[in-house]
Amino acid sequence: MSYPALYRVFWPPTFSEVRGQDHISTTLKNAILTERLAHAYLFCGPRGTGKTSSAKILAKAVNCLDLQNGEPCNQCANCRAINEDNFLDVLEIDAASNRGIDEIRDLRDKVRFAPSQGKKKVYIIDEVHMLTNEAFNALLKTLEEPPAHVLFILATTEPQKIPLTILSRCQRFDFRKINTSEIANHLADIVQEEGVAISEEALNAIARKAAGGMRDAISVLDQCIAFAGARIELEHVEMVLGTVSEEATAALIDTVIGQDYSRLFVSLNDFVQQGKDIKQILRDCIQYCRQLLLLKVAPKEQLIELSPDSMDKAKQQAQALPVEFLGRMINRLATAEKDLRYSNQPQIVLETAFVDLMIQGTEPAVQAVTEPQKPQRTAQKKEQTATTAKPVQKLVASEELLQQWSEVMNRIKSKSVKLHAFLNEAKPAAFQNGELILRFSHQYKFHYNTVNQEENLRLIAQVVQELTGAPVKVTAELENEEGHIKQELTLADEARRMFGEDVPIEII
């Protein structure tokens, strides 16, 4: 049994059921009611926003035998025939398929003949910008002297590619991207009618991915129903779309923040093994970084599109990352997406984009990152106390702790709101060999001094120990203006940090 595509089943039958384009629907209905229709319309806008649906409705309205307040009745013989694509006087031309040469020539020959079935001949030319020059010229001839019984509806996603001579003879309507909540509402209506259960996260994920296009959203829903049956969850949507979940994207960003190279390669490889498209991985990451940027610069505007489950984690990451870095990240990943076209090694393009970002670090690109210098044993032998000003070490933080950092912060908040507030400015820079290093930028000296008090360090250690189950030492570090750490370390401290507590240390 063949099964009609959902978007065909839910094709809006009237202007008032076209979502998100009220400004256009109202104008067209008025034009029909007052009999002030133009000879040619140009419908511009992103894909799936209702251009073809509106063209069909307009074609029905001008041929309807029982017009209902400017809307087609969908009951009369003409409306029904048009709905069934079985009406001789509504001709659809897809300019994308063969660039329209034969069709436009045919159109020019036949346009003079009166309609055979209805009141008006309607030509709907989809993707009109794809017409050849020759076809445009032929079309222009008919647009210059259109017979009264003809209506042209041209639709395009790229109006800038249409010759001015054509544009000037059309009344233009710009279709908007449909907002996410409007798409979600419509999908909710459809699933209800189809008797399908879908989780809210799954529904919103589809709506967000459609990026303003209703037809795409309905197509994805259709595929999800085919894939998952009568109960759709978020993971089904992710499988169908081949997208990377927000959770997985957030974990990937953590590896960038923590400069955890090995984890990065493993994660990217996992995505590829799961069959995710590399372009899609990049797009999902770009989209996620954009959300972080919005959280950072415009948190109160209604622009953020993240699932509620991802929000806490995203806020925490947005706080940790400078605007400059997020901008750089979006740019670098977008460049990688472009580079994919010229590469037959897409995974390497993906990996190097992230490695580049990690090498530069998340700090504003003021200082070049220098490799941490290995302490020279000969120099150390000479003095018992070494004062070292070392470059910001890109220490690899244990990913587990980074992932749980919001949990650490939550627990600290429940014990001391004040400490939590000061700790907000700290970055967990490293967690290894039982030592957690918290780093403060130079402008947060006051925060550093407060956190660095004995009782506060103890409280943090206690919380981390609760989570990791092992004793931990917490050290706070303050960067100087160049982003370096100045610290007084005994040689034994330095050696313990390098080799761990268990190694017996003997200073000669």
Q: Which of residues 172-201 bind Zn ion (CB under 5 A)?
A: none
How far apart are alpha carbons 143 and 400 in whole angstroms? 66
Please give the size of the binding site for Zn ion, defined by CB under 5 A: 5
Task: Please measure the distance between the N-terminal and C-terminal CA atoms of the chain and give it in whole angstroms.
Answer: 86
Q: Choose between 73 and 188: whose C-beta lies nearer to Zn ion.
A: 73
- Write out the two tokens for 266: 């493993």
Of 38 and 73, which has the nearer Cβ to Zn ion? Answer: 73
Q: Based on CB atoms, which residue is closest to Zn ion, 78 or 398?
A: 78
Distance separating alpha carbons of residues 7 and 11, to the nearest angstrom? 6
Closest distance between Zn ion and the C-beta of residue 80, in Å?
Answer: 8
Q: Do β-strands 435-440 and 473-478 pair in parallel, antiparallel, or remain unpaired?
A: parallel
Closer residue to Zn ion, CB minimum distance, 153 or 202: 153
**Taking the complex as a whole, how short is the minimal distance between the CB of residue 5 and Zn ion, in angstroms?**
24
> Residue 5 or 77: which CB sits closer to Zn ion?
77
The CA distance from 208 to 307, in Å, is: 10
Q: Quick check: helix, strand or coil at residue 22?
A: helix
For the bound state, the minimum distance from the C-beta of residue 88 to Zn ion, rounded and expressed in Å, comes to 16
Which is closer to Zn ion, CB of 66 or CB of 270?
66
Identify which of residues 79 and 210 has a Cβ nearer to Zn ion in the complex: 79
* Interatomic CA distance for residues 358 and 347, integer angstroms: 17
C-alpha span between 253 and 257 (Å, rounded): 6
Whole-number Å distance between alpha carbons of 112 and 204: 49
State the nearest-atom distance from the C-beta of 118 to Zn ion, in Å.
10
User: 73, 334, 386, 485: which one contacts Zn ion (CB under 5 A)?
Assistant: 73
CB of 81 or CB of 184, closer to Zn ion: 81
Shortest distance (Å) from residue 58 CB to Zn ion:
13
Question: What is the sign of the dihedral through the CA atoms of 223, 228, 230 and 235?
Answer: negative
CA–CA separation, 63 and 77 (whole Å): 10
How many helices (H) and strands (E) the chain has is answered by: 25, 12
Q: How near is the Cβ of 26 to Zn ion at its closest, in Å?
A: 20
Give the whole-angstrom CA distance, residue 280 versus residue 178. Answer: 22
> From the CB of 75, what's the least distance to Zn ion, in Å?
6
Task: Retrieve residue 275's tokens.
Answer: 């069959």
Contacts of 319 (CB under 8 A, 6+ apart): 296, 424
Sites for Zn ion among residues 31-70 (CB under 5 A)? 64
**Beta carbon of residue 83, minimum distance to Zn ion (angstroms, whole number):** 9
Nearest-10 Cα torsion for 80, 82, 85, 88: 120
Report the distance separating Cα 450 and Cα 457, nearest Å.
Answer: 9
By beta-carbon proximity to Zn ion, the closer residue of 11 and 405 is 11
Q: Which residues contact 460 (CB under 8 A, 6 or more apart)?
A: 408, 412, 419, 423, 436, 438, 451, 474
Q: Residue 76 Cβ, how far from Zn ion at the closest point, in Å?
A: 3
Residue 61 or 286 with smaller CB distance to Zn ion: 61
CA angle in degrees (0–180, nearest 5) for 73-61-176: 110
Q: Which two tokens stand for residue 428?
A: 């967990």
Which is nearer to Zn ion, 81 or 131 (by Cβ)? 81
Among 76, 272, 334, 395, binds Zn ion (CB under 5 A): 76
395 contacts Zn ion (rule: CB under 5 A): no
CB of 314 to Zn ion, least distance (A): 50
Which stretch, 76-84, 378-386, 461-469, 485-493, contacts Zn ion (CB under 5 A)?
A: 76-84
Q: Which is nearer to Zn ion, 76 or 334 (CB)?
A: 76
Environment class of 96 (CB within 10 Å of its CB; exposed 0-12, middle 13-18, buried 19+): middle
Q: How near is the Cβ of 97 to Zn ion at its closest, in Å?
A: 29
79 sits near Zn ion (criterion: CB under 5 A):
yes
117 lines the binding site for Zn ion (CB under 5 A): no
Q: Which two tokens stand for residue 107?
A: 């159109």
Give the shortest CB-17-to-Zn ion separation in angstroms.
15
C-alpha closest to that of 292 among 324, 332, 334: 324
Strand order, beta sheet including 150-156: 90-94, 121-126, 150-156, 40-44, 171-174
Binding site for Zn ion (CB under 5 A): 64, 72-73, 76, 79
